[in-house]
Structure 1
Amino acid sequence: MKLILVDDEKIIVDGLKKMIGRYIPECEVVGVAYNGLEGFKLIQKRQPDIVITDIRMPQADGLDMIKMLKDADSQAKFILLSGYADFEYARRGMQLGVQFYINKPVEELELRDCVCQVMEVIRANRAKLQEVDDLKHEVHSRIQESALKDILEIGSESTDLVGELLKIAQIPAEGARFVCALLEFDGSVDGLKEFGLQPLYRHIDRFLGQYRGVYRFRYWGAQVAVVITHGGVIDYGELIRAIHRLKEAVFRELKMSMAVGIGTVQERAAGISQSFEEARYALNYKVIKGMDAVIPFLEIISLTGQHHTVPDEMIAKLESGLDNMDEEGCVGIIREIFQGMEADRGISPANLQLQCLNILLSSARKMSFQQLQQNDFLGRNILSLEGISRFRTLERLEEWMIQVIRGIITFKLEHNIPKKKDIIAEIKEYVSNHYNEPISLADLSARFFISPYYLSQLFKQKTGDTYMNFLTQIRISKAKELLEKTDLKVYEICRLVGYSDTQHFARLFEKLTGYRPSEYRKNPPSA
């Protein structure tokens, strides 16, 4: 710890320096002064932890010096050194918060004991401050993560809300560019929990440290989302290379294998959700690229844009057949799809594999990663390309695809998954009952065993609105009810309806109702 000595007698200063160097090696004397005014300037400059000062000195005595330093917000701890048994000095010292005194002539043991007591007080104070800082950091991280999850899920149309959420997350958006990546780790979710995320986060920060902001958080299952912001141009090629280096280091140092999907660079904050959707879509192609691949979205677009594609209506029919456990109907649809492939004489084995992958992903996208892992047959055939790559003829591949579809239906029957389950109705009911909890799309995905991407698309398709807008409407509706029927303060209502930031809540409330919460309470439109 840094220590400064202030005394107008040089012989005393020199003696104290020798004793401290000999008996208190934890302290370093970083400066000495011979009057109060000189001491004041030196202490402000060096910012020591401890000051040992005489009381009676020329120009400004020790107590005057301490008062000036306290007024200047000095955090040093003071030990008063005096040969005077004067109560007035002691009283003034206590008023200034001084707790420690040493009488002249100074003895080695008394000096050591007193300085050690002061050091213990300083360490205890630092520990408390660190605890408070850690708590603040944790709260900020949770608020930031929650805001970013909301941004990923609300869609690119909600420009104002994205800006609002970025302010809450304390992420500067002015002049920034944005890009998202989604990391998925090979192995069980429990393995990721056991290993812990902090070592992984440190690697992400290290390898992507050239960008202005890198925000990473657990998204869903064994997936970690990364949102990157930068004030200048983001070189896409360099980003891909940096993520390759990150992947290799994570495998080498943490023994964790991962696949990464990378979205495109967006020039507006509203494009963050689009970049994330692209990253999530690209990550689906780990099945064809490998479980440790880095997959840029632009690469997938160039790949899929050149090939025969299965019509959307055929995929929709297949999904409907799976919903109803209609094995015969599903087999008929597969045969019809393959007839279309056979008619395309130019289709290559690689293209054929890609189309089978698309069909499998569509067939299984309503099922969670955990569900697929529970079934050895499905996990082996849907989560790897091993099955597809064995077949080189349409006929054999068609029969294999039918076997996989039958396996999905068998799995659903064995696990009592009901026909035509109205998952959106269930989710809406759950959200209506738990609106006051921090429920993100990823949380709902884990609870209802459905992938976040499919849930997002299905919710919009079934309701005509995004999940985030639906949740916001419920929360604001409940807030209106509480404002009308209770005397609760606005900040209390804010927390009761699931928001942590009162200003954000007030702005959302005004946007949807046309009133500030306090105005609405005074004159509700329904009155």
Structure 2
Amino acid sequence: MKLILVDDERVIADGLQKMISRYIPECEVIGVAYNGLEGFKLIQKRQPDIVITDIRMPQADGLEMIKMLKEAGCQTKFILLSGYADFEYARRGMQLGVQFYINKPVEELELRDCVCQLMEAIRAEKAKLQEVDDLKMEAHSRIQESALWDILDVGNDNTVQVEELLRGAGIPTEGYCFVCAQLEFDNHLGPLKEFGLDPVFRQVERALGRYGAVYRFRYSGSQVAVVVAHGEDIEYGELVLAVHRLKEAVFRELKLSMTVGIGTVQERAAGICKSFEEARYALSYKVIKGVDAVIPFPEIISLTKHRHPVPEEMIAKLEAGIDNMDEEGCVFTIREIFRWMEPESRMSPADLQLQCLNILLSSVRKMSFQQLEQNDFLGRNILSLEGISRFRTLERLEEWMVQIIREIITFKLEHNIPKKKDIIAEIKDYVSKHYDEPISLADLASRFFISPYYLSQLFKQKTGDTYINFLAQCRIGKAKELLERTDLKVYEICRKVGYSDTQHFARLFEKLTGFKPSEYRKYLPRA
């Protein structure tokens, strides 16, 4: 604890300094002043934890000095030193928040007891303030995480909405570059079940600490999303090396093996979703690159740019067969695709695997990772190397693909997923009933067995709007009803419609209605 002495008698000030040094070693005297005005200047400059001050001094007495410091916003704690047992001084001191007094002549034990009590009170106060700061930090972090979740779901063409979400969460945009990565842990975070993801997050922050800001959060299941924002150009090669170091540190410190997909650097905030989609796409190529690999998106582009992709109409035909659970039709289409591939039968095993990967990713692009993980066979063969990497001939790959498609259809039948259902109508109905819950696009994707990216695209295609906008309109519509029909306070309504941040709720309400929530209720027509 840092302490300053203020007394116009030098002998007393020197004696106090020696007592404190001898009997209260946890306190350090960082300055001495000999009148109230000098003490005022010294205390403002050095910002001590404790001040021991005489009352009667020239230029400004102790109480006047304390009053000036309080008015200046000083948070220091004071002990009054006086040879006068005058109630008026005590009363004025109490009005200024002073709780501790020592009478002259000062005794060592009384001084130590008084200072120790004050130190204990200061520590308790600092602990409470730290707890409040931690809660604020956690709340701010959750707001940022929620905003980034929304951005990943919004899509690349919603520049204004992306920038609004970032500003509302206090994430810088002007002059910043962004890049995303997706981490996937191959043992499903087993060692972290007890402690959560905090040890992984600390490793991420340590490895990528040179960048302006790093945001990390669980994306789904055993996957973590990372968004890097930097106020200067991001050198891509250095970033990839930093991610390699992260992967090694996570394995060394946490005994976790992970695969990483990295998107490209984007010069505008609206590119965050594009970079993340690239990262997710790169990660899917672990069946070619291997688990425990770092896979930058540009490497995938160079892998595929010289290949002839399977015609989209064949993929669409296969997708329609899966939608309708037409096993015979799907098997016929797989055979048709492989006959198309036969003229290129001199392709290397890696090329064959790559073509099959493209077919497979296209045919299951509507399915979520959670859905694939729920089926043991699909999880092993689609989300790991146990399937595709074993087969090095066209014939064996064809039979493996047929087996995979049959398993997908079996899975859909077992889970009673109806043919050609209007999934968007079901989702809208679900959201209208559960608007007060924290439902992200990824949560819905998992619930309705569809990939988040495909759901985002399909929702906009079917409704002409984004899922985020639809959810906001549902929530604000309900908020309007509550403002009209109840006496609930604005912060209570905010929580009842699914928002945790009252300021964000108020901004969104004003944007969609033209009124602040309090104004909306004020201008309601009276019956």
Length-normalised TM-score, structure 1: 0.92
Q: Give the C-alpha shift of residue 83 in structure 1.
A: 1.6
Deviation by residue 1:252-297 (Cα, 9 ceiling, x = unmatched): 1122211111111112222211111111111111222122111111
Per-residue deviation at 1:351?
1.6
Alignment match, 2:10: 10
SS at match of 2:57: coil
- 1:358 counterpart letter in structure 2: N
State the partner residue of 1:166: 166
Instruction: Please give the alpha-carbon distance, in whole angstroms, between the structure 1 residues aligned to 2:247 and 2:502.
Output: 40
Q: 5+ unaligned residues in a row in structure 2: which ranges?
A: none
**What is the CA-CA distance between 1:498 and the residue it aligns to?**
3.3
Corresponding residue for 1:311?
A: 311
Cα RMSD for the two superposed structures: 2.7
- Equivalent positions of 1:61-72 (< 5 A) are 61-72=61-72
Distance 2:56 2:514 in 1: 67
Q: Work out the CA distance in 1 between the residues paired with 2:404 and 2:356.
A: 11
Q: 2:321, 2:23 → 1: CA distance?
A: 84
Q: Could you say which residue in structure 2 is the equivalent of 1:396?
A: 396
Equivalent positions of 1:204-223 (< 5 A) are: 204-223=204-223
User: Is residue 308–residue 347 contact of structure 1 (8 Å, CA) maintained in 2?
Assistant: no
Q: Is there any run of 5+ residues in structure 1 with no aligned partner, and where?
A: none
- The CA deviation at 1:145 is 1.1
Retained in 2: the 8 A contact 1:308–1:351?
A: no
Tell me how far apart the structure 2 counterparts of residues 302 and 440 of structure 1 sit (CA, whole Å): 33
Contact between 2:179 and 2:228, CA under 8 Å: does it hold in 1? Answer: yes
Q: Deviations over 1:390-424 (max 9, x none)?
A: 33322222122212222333334444444445433
The structure-2 alpha-carbon separation of the partners of 1:345 and 1:394, relative to structure 1 and needing over 3 Å to count, comes to: closer
Please list the CA deviations of residues 9-33 of structure 1 after superposition, one character each: whole Å capped at 9, or x if unmatched.
2222222222222221211111222
Matching residue of 1:447:
447
1:91 paired residue number: 91
Secondary structure at the aligned position of 1:194 is classed as coil
Contact 1:221–1:446 (8 Å) recurs in 2? no
Matched, 1:32 2:39: no
**After alignment, is 421-430 or 270-279 more displaced?**
421-430
- The question of whether the paired residues in 1 share the 8 Å contact of 2:288 and 2:350 is answered with no
**CA apart distance, 1:450:** 3.4
Give, as a single letter, the amino acid of the residue that structure 1 aligns with 2:41: K
In the other structure, the counterpart of 2:41 is 41
Distance 1:395 1:44, change over 3 A: same
Q: Say if 1:178 and 1:268, in contact at 8 Å, map to a contact too.
A: yes
Of residues 508-517 and 293-302 in structure 1, the stretch that sits farther from structure 2 once superposed is: 508-517
CA distance 1:409–1:127, shift in 2 (3 Å): same
- 1:105 counterpart SS class: coil
Are 1:376 and 2:344 counterparts? no
- Residues 197 and 396 of structure 1, relative CA distance in 2, 3 Å threshold: closer
Q: CA deviation at 1:88?
A: 1.7
Distance across 2 between alignment mates of 1:355 and 1:291: 19
**3-state SS of 2:241 partner:** helix
Change in Cα spacing, 1:513 to 1:31, as seen in structure 2 (3 Å) is: closer
3-state SS of the aligned residue for 1:85?
A: coil
Distance in structure 2 (CA, Å) of the matches to 1:43 and 1:456: 58
Distance 2:523 2:477 in 1: 16
Change (3 A) 1:29 1:381: same
Is the 1:280–1:453 contact (alpha carbons within 8 Å) kept by the matching residues of 2? Answer: no
Contact 1:164-1:504 at 8 Å conserved across structures = no
**C-alpha contact (below 8 Å) 1:308/1:341 kept by paired residues:** no
Residue aligning to 1:411: 411
Please show how residues 114-263 of structure 1 align to structure 2 within 5 Å.
Answer: 114-188=114-188, 191-263=191-263
CA distance in 1, matches of 2:62, 2:201: 49
Does the 8 Å contact 1:341/1:347 carry over to 2?
no
Q: 1:440 to 1:43 in 2, by over 3 A?
A: same
Residues 518 and 82 of structure 1: CA distance in aligned 2, closer, same or farther (over 3 Å):
closer
Give how far 1:371 is off: 4.0
CA distance in 1, matches of 2:513, 2:95: 54
Report the secondary structure of 1:351's partner residue.
helix
For 1:485 and 1:90, locate their aligned partners in 2 and report how far apart those are by CA, in whole Å: 54
Is contact 1:288-1:384 (8 Å) kept?
A: no
Is the Cα–Cα contact under 8 Å of residues 192 and 222 in structure 1 kept in the other structure?
no
Letter of the aligned partner of 1:392 in structure 2?
Answer: R
Deviation (angstroms), 1:444 = 1.8
Greater shift in the superposed pair: 15-24 or 275-284? 15-24
User: Counterparts of 1:451 and 1:377 in 2: how far apart (Å)?
Assistant: 19
Amino acid in structure 2 at the alignment position of 1:353: Q
Q: Secondary structure at the match of 1:428?
A: helix
Describe the SS at the equivalent of 1:267: coil
Q: Give the letter for the 2:74 counterpart.
A: S
Displacement after TM superposition at 1:154 (Å): 1.1
The 8 Å contact of residues 182 and 225 in structure 2, kept in 1 or not, is answered as: yes
Tell me the percent identity.
81
Distance in structure 2 (CA, Å) of the matches to 1:69 and 1:513: 46
Q: Distance in 2 between matches of 1:361 and 1:181?
A: 19
User: How many angstroms apart in 1 are the aligned matches of 2:487 and 2:475?
Assistant: 18
The verdict on how the C-alpha distance between 1:395 and 1:446 changes in structure 2, with shifts beyond 3 A counting, is closer
SS at 2:291 equivalent: coil
Cα distance change on mapping 1:501 and 1:131 into 2, 3 Å? closer
How far apart are the structure 2 equivalents of 1:18 and 1:518? Answer: 60
Question: Aligned partners of 2:84 and 2:95: how far apart in 1?
Answer: 18
**Counterparts of 2:52 and 2:506 in 1: how far apart (Å)?**
52
Partner of 2:359: 359
Cα pair distance change 1:88/1:393, threshold 3 Å: closer
2: CA distance between counterparts of 1:493 and 1:358?
Answer: 47
Shift, 1:115, TM fit: 0.8
Q: Distance in 1 between matches of 2:133 and 2:162?
A: 28
Scaled by the length of structure 2, the TM-score of the pair is 0.92
CA distance in 2, matches of 1:125, 1:476: 39
Provide the rounded CA distance (Å) in 1 between the counterparts of 2:264 and 2:371. Answer: 30
Would you say the 8 A contact 1:367–1:450 is kept in 2?
yes
